[in-house]
Amino acid sequence: MMRTWPNEKGEKMWKVKNWVFSGLALASMACVPTSSPADVQTRDIGQRRYILLDPKEVSGPAPLVLALHGGFGSAEGLSKSLPLEGQAAQMGFRVAYLEGIGAGPRRDRARTWNAGDCCGPAQKRGVNDLRYMKGVIRQLQREGLVSSVNLVGHSNGGMMVYRFLCESQFPVASAVIISGSKMVPGCDLPARTRVLLIHGSKDRNVPLSGGRGQGPSRAVYTSFRNSADQLKRGGALLEEELLSEAGHRLGEINAVLRGKLPQRVATFMFGG
């Protein structure tokens, strides 16, 4: 279904650092019912890490959302630009904000994902991000925290969601891809996964029509239409949302959605 909006390896012992996730960041992005502060944990898995948002209202197995930042982003940055705390508490799910591999001695600069033909340090080094994502899921499954797996990614993170859907053979209940492009050949989705594609018509980094973008990667992207059609052929239950006045950034997407991008993501996945 198409909607066009008008202008407007090994796993090691993990360590946990707890702090209060204030929820004030939500105010600029979404209006949701007040809830208790979530437990937010920074966890290590092998040589990598992720941030787990675990609402106090949620106990036992629950849906898990893996959230992937864009190129040069971070887990912490995405937790602020796509805050899902209120929705997670209200709808009963957990969020794992994942983190890509970067450049430099600590691999913490210009973090990216190896999404196939893009992007940056992760793609050049041939980083196995599929293994990292599966490792996070399995770690939380062993703790009895996961009832289903759902994905959301922006830009290079959205491209990584495409790759996970098409190559991992891992059961995924739903996925939201924002400003992304499919950068791997072929696609074989398990069990007719529900997928929402959100893209701005004024996106110059990952153009709707495909081709070379104006972003730092200078990659040549698969068009929105071709990416969507490959998902359909792979068995996806697809919904498309083209935003006529939006560019590439999450802030632009959210502005056209009148501050309701977090709600749009959560309601697509879980209803309500």
Residue 188 corresponds to which tokens in the numbers above?
Answer: 């074989």
Overall average pLDDT of the 159-182 stretch: 97
The per-residue DSSP string of 138-152 comes to HHHHHTT-EEEEEEE
Distance CA 196, CA 227 (A): 12
Residue 216 corresponds to which tokens in the numbers above?
Answer: 């730092």
Overall average pLDDT of the 121-144 stretch: 97
Predicted confidence at residue 260, as pLDDT, reads: 98
Q: In this model, does residue 209 exceed pLDDT 50? A: yes
Distance CA 173, CA 269 (A): 8
User: Considering only CA atoms, which of 94, 16, 23, 97 is closest in space to residue 59?
Assistant: 94
Overall average pLDDT of the 165-186 stretch: 97
pLDDT digits (tens, 9 = 90+) for 52-77: 999 999 999 999 999 999 999 999 99
Overall average pLDDT of the 185-199 stretch: 91
Which has the minimum average pLDDT: 15-29, 37-51, 82-96, 127-141?
A: 15-29
Overall average pLDDT of the 39-54 stretch: 96
Overall average pLDDT of the 24-42 stretch: 57
Confidence tier at 179 by pLDDT (50, 70, 90): very high
Per the document, the length of the chain is 272
Residues 133, 139, 141, 146, Cα dihedral to 10°: -60
Predicted confidence at residue 34, as pLDDT, reads: 46
Q: In this model, does residue 246 exceed pLDDT 90? A: yes
Evaluate whether 65 touches 94 at the Cβ level (below 8 Å).
Answer: yes
* In the chain, % of residues over pLDDT 70: 85
Q: Which CATH architecture has domain 2-270?
A: 3-Layer(aba) Sandwich (3.40)
Within 10 Å of residue 107's Cβ, how many Cβ atoms? 18
Q: In this model, does residue 108 exceed pLDDT 80? A: no
Mean pLDDT of the chain: 88
Overall average pLDDT of the 26-49 stretch: 70
- The amino acid present at 191, given as its one-letter code, is A
Q: In this model, does residue 36 exceed pLDDT 80? A: no
Predicted confidence at residue 1, as pLDDT, reads: 53
User: Considering only CA atoms, which of 37, 55, 45, 56 is closest in space to residue 16?
Assistant: 45
Q: In this model, does residue 242 exceed pLDDT 90? A: yes
The per-residue DSSP string of 13-39 comes to -----EEEE-SGGGGGT------PPEE
Overall average pLDDT of the 7-19 stretch: 36
Q: How far is CA 32 from CA 79, 109, 131, in A?
A: 16, 34, 34
Evaluate whether 159 touches 119 at the Cβ level (below 8 Å).
Answer: yes
Sequence ranges of the domains in the chain? 2-270
Q: Encode 196-229: b = buried (16+ Cβ within 10 Å), e = exposed.
A: bbbbbbebebbbbebeebebebebebbbbeebbe
Evaluate whether 263 touches 32 at the Cβ level (below 8 Å).
Answer: yes
Predicted confidence at residue 26, as pLDDT, reads: 34
Q: How far is CA 238 from CA 131, 198, 205, 241, in A?
A: 26, 11, 23, 10
Confidence tier at 218 by pLDDT (50, 70, 90): confident
H/E element holding 92? none
Confidence tier at 188 by pLDDT (50, 70, 90): confident
Confidence tier at 217 by pLDDT (50, 70, 90): confident
φ, ψ dihedrals at 203, nearest 5° = -65, 120
